[in-house]
Amino acid sequence: MKKVIFLWIISITLSLTGTCQQQYGGGEDNPDLKTNKEALNQWQDLKFGMFIHWGPVSLRGTEIGWSRGPIIPIVEYDQLYNEFNPALFNAEEWVKTAKEAGMKYLVIITKHHDGFCLWNSKYTEYDMASTPYGKDVLKALSDECEKQGIWFGTYYSVLDWHHPEYTTRYGGDPRPVENSDMNKYIEYMYGQVEELIKDYNTRILWFDGEWENSWNHKEGMKLYQFCREQNDDLLINNRVDKGRKGMQGMSSARFAGDFGTPEQRVGTFEPDTPWESCITIGTQWAWKPNDHIKSSQECIHTLISTAGGNGNLLLNVGPMMDGRIEQRQINILKEVGGWLKEYGESVYGTRGGPYKPEHWIASTYKDNRIYIHLMKWPLGELILPKPSNNKILAVSVFNGKPLEYKTKGE
């Protein structure tokens, strides 16, 4: 039986005047250092991406990074990589799943707060090369994304609770910090970031872990500059620096970064600032056995609300210990992709507005057309303010059937 997603889409055709977006970049020390504007616009056009949290912790089904110490003893957690053998990992299937969901880019965890590296890095042995599996899953994914026409991005945490030179401890880690040298850790980090940029064709660098006192504003701007020097077109999120305001995720131009990062929530309407909400399909980032997962309708409504707020959506999945994405997650993603095949015109390549999104309505626009997404039909008539300085030429349901309308004063 075909699942019905309750949603009305109304198309308004008119002469629409676009808005100019503010572009952030290198922060107050490097105000003119910015990503290529065309690359930023292309990324905003993509609208929908897959986030992947995965690593040895999937053997226990607990949260990546955060369960090191509080849930799994540190000594045990740090040795999980010796058991990690995801023999059923298939890069082609992962990217195919993203593509069938209508996702246009993919961002994978390369190093979370636990310090384990999901690629074969020359700077550490705490990586995939040292696992029983031994293969470079990051290279396989990067190559497959290029093959299937999906943008490839890499998440990298600037904090590292495993590295001896990082100067903050977590989870009851007994190691003293007096002899740790943050400069040595930063040198290590720069080497790894350069690997990700040069060896893995990453187009998006998604930093995290910037909130601890070991990291500071000056270092954030320096890291942004370093990344920008490697690749003019690289997109770098605002967690490279210290300006993010909590989980609402936005920062000011004082701080480095190309886009904001609301977490586990749809961002607020920001017509002048690029942003991306990262949200889990379940209740935690890494795989959790028997986790409650969102329905396809919840995912679609989240995507629409995000697009209506002028943002992108990075929807997270957590593959299992053997390297497969759970079939029930795949089924939900396919339903989302089926909806996008039919109605993707109202999402891809659009910008949010002109109407501020509410829980029952979101609007997007592209060229001379506004798309009104109604997630709940209000009682009686639908009354909307007329976009200023624009003449309405036609109003129709998405399938082209005309709708009766009138403009006040005409």
Interatomic CA distance for residues 100 and 102, integer angstroms: 5
Task: Judge contact between 353 and 271, C-beta under 8 A.
Answer: yes
CA-based Rg of the chain, rounded to a whole angstrom?
22
Give the least confident one: 6-10, 89-93, 305-309, 370-374: 6-10
Interatomic CA distance for residues 63 and 71, integer angstroms: 9
Residue 73 has pLDDT above 80, yes or no: yes
Question: Residues 7, 11, 17, 19: what is their CA dihedral angle, to the nearest 10 degrees?
Answer: 20
Residue 292 has pLDDT above 60, yes or no: yes
* Residue that is written with structure tokens 């210290």 in the block: 242
Q: Which of 164, 276, 163, 154 is nearest to 227 (CA)?
A: 154
Residue 238 has pLDDT above 60, yes or no: yes
Which pLDDT score is estimated for 368?
86
Condensed to tens digits (0 to 9), the pLDDT of residues 143-160 reads 999 999 999 999 999 999
What's the CATH number for 21-351? Answer: 3.20.20.80
Tokens at 155, concatenated: 């998440």
Condensed to tens digits (0 to 9), the pLDDT of residues 374-385 reads 988 766 678 888
Confidence of residue 194 (pLDDT cuts 50, 70, 90): very high
Which pLDDT score is estimated for 1?
32
Confidence of residue 403 (pLDDT cuts 50, 70, 90): confident
Residue 64 has pLDDT above 90, yes or no: yes
Residue 254 has pLDDT above 70, yes or no: yes
Average pLDDT over every residue of 219-239:
97
Condensed to tens digits (0 to 9), the pLDDT of residues 97-148 reads 999 999 999 999 999 999 999 999 999 999 999 999 999 999 999 999 999 9
Condensed to tens digits (0 to 9), the pLDDT of residues 317-373 reads 999 999 999 999 999 999 999 999 999 999 999 999 998 999 889 999 998 889 999
Which pLDDT score is estimated for 310?
97
Residue 2 has pLDDT above 50, yes or no: no
Confidence of residue 3 (pLDDT cuts 50, 70, 90): very low
Interatomic CA distance for residues 269 and 31, integer angstroms: 24
Task: Give the global pTM.
Answer: 0.94
Which pLDDT score is estimated for 21?
62
Burial 217-243 (b: 16+ CB within 10 A, else e): bebbbbbbbebbeebeebbbbbbbbbb
Average pLDDT over every residue of 396-408:
73
Residues 6+ apart with CB under 8 A from 298: none
Confidence of residue 406 (pLDDT cuts 50, 70, 90): confident
- Percent share of the chain, pLDDT over 90: 79
Condensed to tens digits (0 to 9), the pLDDT of residues 159-182 reads 999 999 999 999 999 999 999 999
> Would the CA dihedral through 399, 401, 407, 410 be positive or negative?
positive
